[in-house]
Structure 1
């Protein structure tokens, strides 16, 4: 009797283990997101605005102190225009990444933008941007710097 009861208990445990659903394991995209943003900065520093803009969804949300306090949706052509105008004002503009903080769907980047201003003076500006990544594309580009 003991043997039959013990066998029944072990059988029930075995059956319940086989019927349990597998635990869903979410894939961590942090490393892939970091690689996307590293490529983004390569395109920026090469002033290759077409390759850079191809990294965005069709109309990403953008934030820049130059546009005010709210997020704005921008088309690819508007983004290319923005960076082309920046390059005209500051032909040698370059960004040096100080630190990156990748996560599942965002990458926070601390960087320093530098170049020669229209007045001929060299400048260096600390900037922080939060990039949101969806399906391998930048969906938000929220940039913060001192605009005064």
Structure 2
């Protein structure tokens, strides 16, 4: 075989000497990537199932059952000064399973009656699950309430470690307090960085 340069000669010799090794590592890397995909798919399904169980627990309104699904350091973060937090005089950043469970089990019922949840999307990827829903209810003044929500659940070791909640805060305020409520146009709707 005739080579054009010493550099090209060196590359061909290296390939001849290391080619099978390089191919083996490419195959090994593909297997590792495939295994990681399987692990991710398993984690995705476990996270999806966990969050579905959490929503079932929410419907029971049993604080102990709800709390069992959250890690000891769990957080639930909702938009700052959202209508529910303002109307009930509660925080928009709940910490720990007891506080989260008490709110879901008892707090919400003080403001919302005849609650119905329509799930619009349920998306999972690894340890994250995104739930899109529309909640309808009756307010204490007998007015109807309808609002879409998006929740991002972060799962860790078979429990929920964090929930980030999003909604149309202005619509929530208008429905809960009425369009003329003094806070409706001047709320600090986002949390400072």
- Normalising by structure 1, we get a TM-score of 0.75
Higher helix share: 2
Instruction: Give me the whole-angstrom Cα distance separating, in 2, the residues matched to 1:46 and 1:136.
Output: 20
Higher strand share: 1
* 1:40-60 superposed Cα distances (whole Å, 9 cap, x missing partner): 111222323332221110121
In the other structure, the counterpart of 1:81 is 102
Which piece of structure 1 moves more, 102-111 or 115-124? 115-124
Q: CA deviation at 1:64?
A: 0.6
Instruction: Give me the whole-angstrom Cα distance separating, in 1, the residues matched to 2:53 and 2:128.
Output: 15
Structure 2 residue 76 is matched with structure 1 residue 49: no
Q: How many residues align?
A: 135
Give unpaired runs (5+ residues) of structure 1.
1-8
- Normalising by structure 2, we get a TM-score of 0.59
Give unpaired runs (5+ residues) of structure 2.
1-15, 83-91, 171-193
Q: CA deviation at 1:129?
A: 0.6
Q: How is 1:1-148 mapped onto 2 (pairs within 5 angstroms)?
A: 23=32, 25-26=35-36, 27=39, 28=41, 29-66=43-80, 72=93, 74-83=95-104, 84-148=106-170
Q: Which structure has the larger Rg?
A: 2
